[in-house]
Structure 1
Amino acid sequence: MRRLGLVAVAALLLASCGTGGDGESLTFVSYGKGAYQDGQQKAFLEPYQKETGVKVVLDGPSDNAKLRAMVEAGRVTWDVVDTDAFLAREHCGTLLEKIDVGPLKDSFPAGTLSDCGVPAAFFGLVLMYNEKTYGADPPTGLADFFDPGKFPGKRVVYAKDPSTGQLEAALLADGVPVDRLYPLDMDRALRTYGRIRGDLTLAQTYGQQQQVMVDNQADMALIVSARAYSTLKAGGTQWKRVPAKVPVTWDVFVVPKGSQRKEKAQELIKYASGPEQGAKFAELSGAGAANTRAAAGLNDLQRQIDVLSPERAADTVFIDADWWTGNYTRVVQAWTTWQTG
């Protein structure tokens, strides 16, 4: 669970040594080795270090509980952290520093920039189907994912965290208009998933979901776009995208409260948020660039799962991050109870 609450790690932090640098270095925290972090490193971390002479040290994985423990212990060693948009809204000014992006403030999709969180990357929950299963009669919309009569077969979703669009997808499939999604009707969403309960694989990691797809152990999937790209790269080219509504979520850059290098941290965030850096990051990672002026040169596989292209704008449904911030814990409890009940 990405949310806060595991403050027991504070004891480990208090035992750690060092304060994280001498003022000419920055510690950047992401999710660990993989296309996403590699894309960050090559698109903006290494160029920033070369252009400014400020050393950028990678740490991770990103962990909200560890961030909180650092701040509460007064031993902040992280300077820029890639995390979920909800943390930035819920703990702005307490766990996190406010960030001034200056002229970049109008460079992101409406409603995605907050006082303490600058959009880092966008992810769409795309519907995909196995061409080996459905051949010339494929599913055509979200409703088909939840219709085992019309489209029999195994389904797979990432079940660990419901805030990446799984519930929105179910409600859209059940006929809820986009402008009436919130507040989310949890009972209705779970009833919709109940239709396919016997055919549903609840993957506990993205890696598990990808493997299920590559190994043809599923026939349809709701999968985050960056992971869909990884699936295609791993040889799962039998998987095709369905042109359907796409719930879109995003990560943000934040600066932990008490960072001794918060001014330089903001400089790095502004550099990383430029259109050129965003385009390069999208090309390398398969995630969507945060800056709306970024013109990424996507390859064929990336174009298949691109969720931010202008021609697909009508299908893009940005989640309500403010609603999720106030309801995350309650929703996760309901989602988890449904899985185990």
Structure 2
Amino acid sequence: MPKHSARLAGTAAVAASLLLATACGAGSTAPASIDLGSGPAAAGTVKKDALSGLNMSFVSYGGVYQEGQQKAAVDPFAQESGAKILQDGPTDYAKIKAQVDSSNVTWDVIDADSIWAEAQCGTLLQPLDYTIIDKSKIPEGLAGECTVPAMQYGMVLAYNKNKFGANPPKGWKDFYDTTKFPGKRAISGNPGDSAPGPFESALVADGVAPDQLYPLDVDRATKKLQSIRPNLVFWKTGAEAQQLVESGEVDLAMIWSGRAYAAVKNGAPFQVSFDQWMPVMDSLTVPKNAKNPKASMALINYYLGAQQQAKLTELTSYSPINTDAKPNLDELGKSFLTTGPGTAEKALKIDSKWWAQHQPEMIEKWSAWLGG
């Protein structure tokens, strides 16, 4: 989906050798029985050759992100488990629905938007088996009935340190204070899409307590947004947001942490405040009526290992979801990890379940305000 492909730190396509799962027998009948071993599940492990002879497919959004997933977790899982795992994508919700509705499911593990996945739990997606998946190292509250995080990043406040370094903005209240912090602000503004970020920031800036954000008061939020509209520059993709920062066209930005990191690494004189940052993540899911759900759960469990998550971070710059993961990064990279000490605690709590229930109406209201 455009939202996901745009946010990646790079836009390279998955290698041309990617095979289409549907054309290569993915989702074929499992062996008569799958023995994953005894004892409690341990993230990052799988019984040797437990899935020998089984074809599977892993579906994600392409680019450096899916390449990182493949190298960090999927290929090593295939080598240890004996399964043949084919890459497919990009994630397409219409295709998922068509597969489930026709009872011809060829995708086994799917990386999807967390809010969409929350909304489809029990409909297009099946509950995860936590006797096979070890979620003990996932931060509390992030694993759902049908989803576990694939990685994490955040919507953060970035500011020009040459302009505001002596008195930097610290949170969303400062982002909306054009007197104390004059200049243009970049903000996500994609008609036809709405996600956590603008509404929450506006309400916090207007004095709503962080633990009282939901249900979102859209009228109050849009009124606050309207108060700084002359100072707003809207971006539709992560690449646009990064370019606005690098070019100096804006002095402050509501931007994905990975894009802020890339801009700073490229020399932009910007710094990030993690005060009231908003967590964003993808989710790993299993479609309803998947042919080999036990194998799908085993792949997800392996993906969540500390070593796999550390490698994924090193390859993609996204933050690891396993609390024991220790990626080998330079100091700049470490400073942008949303799971780092002293950073995770500063996050606003986003109610994904509320968003899942109300996203269609939020898209309508957001699009109306953008066009107004």
Q: TM-score range by the shorter chain?
A: 0.7 to 0.9
For 2:110 and 2:311, locate their aligned partners in 1 and report how far apart those are by CA, in whole Å. Answer: 20
Q: Which amino acid aligns with 2:156?
A: V
TM normalised by structure 2 equals 0.81
**How many residues in Structure 1 have an aligned counterpart in Structure 2?**
327
Question: Which of 311, 315, 320 lines up with 2:351 in the alignment?
Answer: 320
For 1:40 and 1:56, locate their aligned partners in 2 and report how far apart those are by CA, in whole Å. Answer: 12
Q: Which amino acid aligns with 1:189?
A: A
Q: Which amino acid aligns with 1:105?
A: K
Which residue does the alignment assign to 1:155?
Answer: 185
Q: Map of 1:2-81 to 2, 5 A cutoff?
A: 20=26, 22=28, 23=30, 24-34=54-64, 36-81=65-110
Q: Map of 1:108-257 to 2, 5 A cutoff?
A: 108-160=138-190, 161-233=193-265, 235-257=266-288
Classify the secondary structure of the residue corresponding to 1:229.
Answer: helix
For 2:329 and 2:198, locate their aligned partners in 1 and report how far apart those are by CA, in whole Å. Answer: 26
Question: Which of 258, 261, 274 lines up with 2:289 in the alignment?
Answer: 258
Classify the secondary structure of the residue corresponding to 1:128.
Answer: strand
Q: Which amino acid aligns with 1:28?
A: F
* Farther-moved stretch of structure 1 (16-25 vs 57-66): 16-25
Q: Deviation of residue 86 (structure 1)?
A: 2.6
For 2:76 and 2:264, locate their aligned partners in 1 and report how far apart those are by CA, in whole Å. Answer: 29
Classify the secondary structure of the residue corresponding to 1:120.
Answer: strand
For 1:19 and 1:243, locate their aligned partners in 2 and report how far apart those are by CA, in whole Å. Answer: 45
* Farther-moved stretch of structure 1 (82-91 vs 39-48): 82-91
Provide Cα deviations, 1:257-292, integer angstroms capped at 9, x if missing partner: 222232211111010011221222223222222222
- Overall identity of the aligned pairs, in %: 39
Which residue does the alignment assign to 2:366?
Answer: 335
Q: Which amino acid aligns with 1:53?
A: G
For 2:206 and 2:328, locate their aligned partners in 1 and report how far apart those are by CA, in whole Å. Answer: 36
Which residue does the alignment assign to 1:83?
Answer: 112
Q: Which amino acid aligns with 1:206?
A: G
Classify the secondary structure of the residue corresponding to 2:153.
Answer: strand
Which residue does the alignment assign to 2:317?
Answer: 286
Q: CA RMSD in A?
A: 2.3
Q: Which amino acid aligns with 2:331?
A: D
Which residue does the alignment assign to 2:8?
Answer: none
For 2:146 and 2:68, locate their aligned partners in 1 and report how far apart those are by CA, in whole Å. Answer: 23
Ranges in structure 2 where 5+ consecutive residues have no aligned partner: 4-21, 31-53
Provide Cα deviations, 1:64-107, integer angstroms capped at 9, x if missing partner: 22211221133322111111223333222321122113362332
Classify the secondary structure of the residue corresponding to 1:172.
Answer: helix
Indicate how the Cα distance of structure 1 residues 196 and 215 shifts in structure 2: closer, same or farther if over 3 A, else same.
same
Q: Which amino acid aligns with 2:99?
A: M
For 1:232 and 1:284, locate their aligned partners in 2 and report how far apart those are by CA, in whole Å. Answer: 18
Provide Cα deviations, 1:22-65, integer angstroms capped at 9, x if missing partner: 4522211111112x223212211121122223222222222222
Q: Which amino acid aligns with 1:176?
A: V
Provide Cα deviations, 1:289-313, integer angstroms capped at 9, x if missing partner: 2222323333222223222223224
Of Structure 1 and Structure 2, the greater helix share is in: 1
Ranges in structure 1 where 5+ consecutive residues have no aligned partner: 4-15
Indicate how the Cα distance of structure 1 residues 70 and 221 shifts in structure 2: closer, same or farther if over 3 A, else same.
same
Classify the secondary structure of the residue corresponding to 1:82.
Answer: strand
Question: Which of 127, 134, 142 lines up with 1:104 in the alignment?
Answer: 134
Provide Cα deviations, 1:168-208, integer angstroms capped at 9, x if missing partner: 22222222212111111111221221122112111111111
For 2:75 and 2:262, locate their aligned partners in 1 and report how far apart those are by CA, in whole Å. Answer: 23
Indicate how the Cα distance of structure 1 residues 330 and 312 shifts in structure 2: closer, same or farther if over 3 A, else same.
same
For 2:138 and 2:154, locate their aligned partners in 1 and report how far apart those are by CA, in whole Å. Answer: 16
* Farther-moved stretch of structure 1 (110-119 vs 269-278): 110-119
Q: Deviation of residue 17 (structure 1)?
A: 6.0
Given that residues 126 and 305 in structure 1 are in contact (C-alpha distance below 8 angstroms), is that contact kept between their aligned partners in structure 2? no
Q: Deviation of residue 122 (structure 1)?
A: 1.6
For 1:26 and 1:266, locate their aligned partners in 2 and report how far apart those are by CA, in whole Å. Answer: 12
